Structure 1
């Protein structure tokens, strides 16, 4: 896989063997290696280049809603909120979709790239493969199961992505709506670290401090963090993008639900919103169980760490950061939010 130019205008660059060897000391690697997408330096499994142009060209519908986040920033919470508001506002238990895992109900359109991972290639995609066979008969898995499922889903669609705005179609915000959720970088770092330790696709072996410094340098897949957040932040006044934070959701979930309701033009009642707030509360979602296949994570560590719904609090970073790491993070944050107007809440 040589250098190539994507439809988004970005150029791709495979990591060298030396870079891959360094990364593989702590991470389970991808069979095709890793690719850096320039100029921002997005780091993904190299097989992502097979899907990115197709995702860029995906036919968008006026009633599509994309949930967009950097990993571990409140994605699953907002994903469930949007699915409920758009696909099942009365929370009808007979709704067929509600019986599916959340990650199948509103798919991550780029998830196929993860199945190039050595530990996930065999059985990390069971529920997605089953749905693909059902809704895309005769189609080829290698063309991307997620994108083809999404293409065949009825409207209105709720689509998840961890890709940044500039890797998606240039007319995205003219054609449909995007809900972007950010999270203070310190709590994101702790949550991302716990997840990448227990996910088979990561199985990260290093310490939190090592991981945090690698994220700050953009050496972990899905990084860099700041261009992802700031691209959305600069579009916060676009009428088709709603920018919120995990902390704002924790502080006033009903207030956020009212704003999302208005943004989507759903006209849901206060009673419907209250029921959705309960349905998507941390305790309710944890009780319903994991939103992804067990084959996706290392079960004994996953259960020990609390699973996908680990704590659901603000300010957990204070229980994990050394003074030195906190100082480095403060500088990293200050350097990147300077003159942007973006502020985060870091306390409980």
Structure 2
């Protein structure tokens, strides 16, 4: 990954145009922090929560941390105990240091092939329409002024333009899907967490070699429910990261209360116009289908479920 020059960022205000929002993304992390991530050398037991934005990252961090600690909730922020690899240095964290519990765990949005090799990867993917709508609302009020950028403009000039890192969601997705069935990678779709959270937690526990205590599993399942996480939303608001990077992104030093939204599935397409849905379908046909042979989102879910049959 080449480090690129960063464009100028308006001072101390949220973006109001798609162009300003793209400039804001350029300050998401420092070159020093990114270099530390790309040169990181994992140990075999390290666990990477490998997602794109709004694909169940925080949900999976909570599951992983609960499994390795027996359900400990004594942390100020989930991103301190399960740090974002690419942003750890910017948050004052040493990615090479021991963590509060073993195995070490990290969040990452890097493409497969860019993420340093080694360790175990928990990949979570999501319907692109749901990612788009969730991402729009996630950034509204944090990176851009509420009401200043329409969903239509965001879709065309930000989401489909590859902004947000790693060549956009479609580029990230096609980098990871070939790893289905690899022994060091376990896939879930976001929908799977909704449909069968206990089954997902049990599968992740086996993958992490943390599946020896049914009592712990029960605690982790309860604490990974949306109701529980909303009750403890201050521990999942990513405040440490947001405050650390506010100045570099040209933002006011204030943080929205939570990154947790509705957590629903399948609402994205209904929120989009026919024209925007057609654009997403076109991008899938241009990027995902030729690289993977998968013609629609339902095909992704099907092969993920089939891959579970090869697990030990």
TM-score (norm 1): 0.70
Q: Does the Cα contact within 8 Å between 2:125 and 2:189 map onto a contact in 1?
A: yes
Cα offsets for 1:139-171 (capped at 9, x unmatched): xxxx644551553435421111122222222xx
Residue 49 of structure 2: which of 67, 75, 89 is its match? 67
Q: Which residue of 2 aligns with 1:187?
A: 130
- Match of residue 157 from structure 1: 104
Residue 49 (1) aligns with residue 31 (2): yes
Counterpart among 55, 69, 74 of residue 98 in structure 1: 74
Match of 1:133 in 2: none
Which among 84, 106, 110 is matched to residue 108 of structure 1? Answer: 84
1:331 pairs with 2:288:
no
Q: Secondary structure at the match of 1:14?
A: coil
For the 8 Å contact 2:46–2:120, the answer to whether it is kept is yes
Separation in 1, partners of 2:255, 2:6: 30
- Contact 1:232 1:243 survives alignment (8 Å): no
Cα distance in 1 for partners of 2:92, 2:113 equals: 20
State the match for 1:311 in structure 2. 262
What are the within-5 Å matches in structure 2 for residues 8-47 of structure 1? 10-14=1-5, 25-26=16-17, 44-45=26-27
Q: What is the Cα deviation at residue 293 of structure 1?
A: 5.4
- 2:60 and 2:132 map into 1 onto residues whose CA distance is 19
Change (3 A) 1:187 1:150: farther
C-alpha distance in structure 1 between counterparts of 2:255 and 2:36, whole Å: 36
Long gaps (5+) in structure 2: 9-13, 244-251, 300-312
- Greater relative CO (CA pairs within 8 A, separation 6+): 2
1:1-348 correspondence runs (5 A): 10-14=1-5, 25-26=16-17, 44-45=26-27, 48-86=30-68, 88-89=69-70, 91=71, 95=72, 98-111=74-87, 144-148=90-94, 151-153=97-99, 155-169=102-116, 172=117, 175-199=118-142, 201-203=143-145, 205-213=148-156, 214-221=158-165, 223-290=167-234, 291-292=236-237, 296=242, 302=256, 307-339=258-290, 340-342=292-294, 343-345=296-298
Shift of 1:267: 2.5
Quickly say closer, same or farther: Cα 1:284–1:341, change in 2 above 3 A.
Answer: farther
Task: Give me the whole-angstrom Cα distance separating, in 2, the residues matched to 1:220 and 1:99.
Answer: 28
When the two chains are superposed, the root-mean-square deviation of aligned CA atoms in Å is: 3.3
**TM-score under structure 2 length normalisation:** 0.77
Aligned length: 279
- Which residue is 1:39 aligned to? none
